[in-house]
Amino acid sequence: MRPVIGVISDVKALGGHIVHGVTEKYIYAVARGAQAMPVLLPGTVSAVDADMAPERAVVEEILDTVDALFLPGSPSNVGPQHYGDLPHDPPLPADPHRDDISLPLIRAALERGVPLFGVCRGFQEMNVALGGTLFQKLYEQPGRFDHREDSGLDIEGQYAPAHEVMLAADGLLASLAGATSWRVNSLHGQGVARLAPDVVVEAQAADGTIEAFRVPDAPGFNMAIQWHPEWRFWQDKLSSGIFTAFGAAARLAAERRRGGARLKATG
């Protein structure tokens, strides 16, 4: 059996209804790149009956069900109240329901050693969940590039490589790339202001923007990446390597979890 990777959903209004969903490119990257079974997780604790169980119990139940956790990108942003900031005026796109489940899930997954991979918004969620802060408008910060996509381009142009990142020479990404620099796409308006404690930088842009990090002391695979490796991952050595490594970690976690279940059943 393929490992099961839980994918956090966005929550948005559509046609008068509330919809929980994930863009297909993320699902495809998990299914084909990580060779796993993607399972969409509702983007709010209340959607999994929080009235009947404390938040921590709901989080633990999710982590008992999946072998790994994937945090995809989104047009929405982490609510600034989660890192001690006031909302921008006018407020930027938000998804408080996703925040409700993603932030506690991140902390619990790292604590338990459940493989964890965050992309774009997921990268920012990981930084906030671990005690870091964000620039709500990175492009307004002195000396920083405008890391947003060019909305005048078609989708191919928006996701085309945009700038280089320097990869930490002793990091996981450098080992996967076989290089210490890589050209990546760039489609984000927010970015790390203060990096969370106890993490190590895996990649950084020339303007100082943190582009990737991991938690070295966590017992399981984890990676946070600001760019979009899911986009046509099969055409890029580093992107395909990341999803392959994530899938391998999920398979190992699945073997351990199922082995433990068999021991309980026979014991």
For residues 162, 71, 245, 24, the Cα torsion angle rounded to the nearest 10 degrees is -70
Domains recognised in the chain with CATH numbers? 4-266 (3.40.50.880)
**If you average pLDDT over residues 216-225, what whole number do you get?**
96
Give the pTM.
0.94
* 88 catalytic per annotation: no
For 37, the 3-state DSSP assignment is strand
| pLDDT at residue 50 in the model | 46
**If you average pLDDT over residues 210-220, what whole number do you get?**
97
Residue with tokens 């839980």: 6
- Closest among 111, 40, 90, 100 to 70, alpha carbons compared: 40
Please pick, among 17, 111, 120, 125, the residue that the annotation labels catalytic.
Answer: 120
Please pick, among 55, 147, 228, 255, the residue that the annotation labels catalytic.
Answer: 228
Percent of the chain clearing pLDDT 90 (strictly above):
89
* pLDDT tens-digit map of 35-52: 999 999 998 765 544 454
* 228 catalytic per annotation: yes
* 120 catalytic per annotation: yes
In this predicted model, which residue has the larger pLDDT, 236 or 50?
Answer: 236
Give the single-character DSSP code of 57.
H
Catalogue the E-assigned strands of 148-232.
163-167, 181-184, 191-194, 200-205, 210-214, 222-225
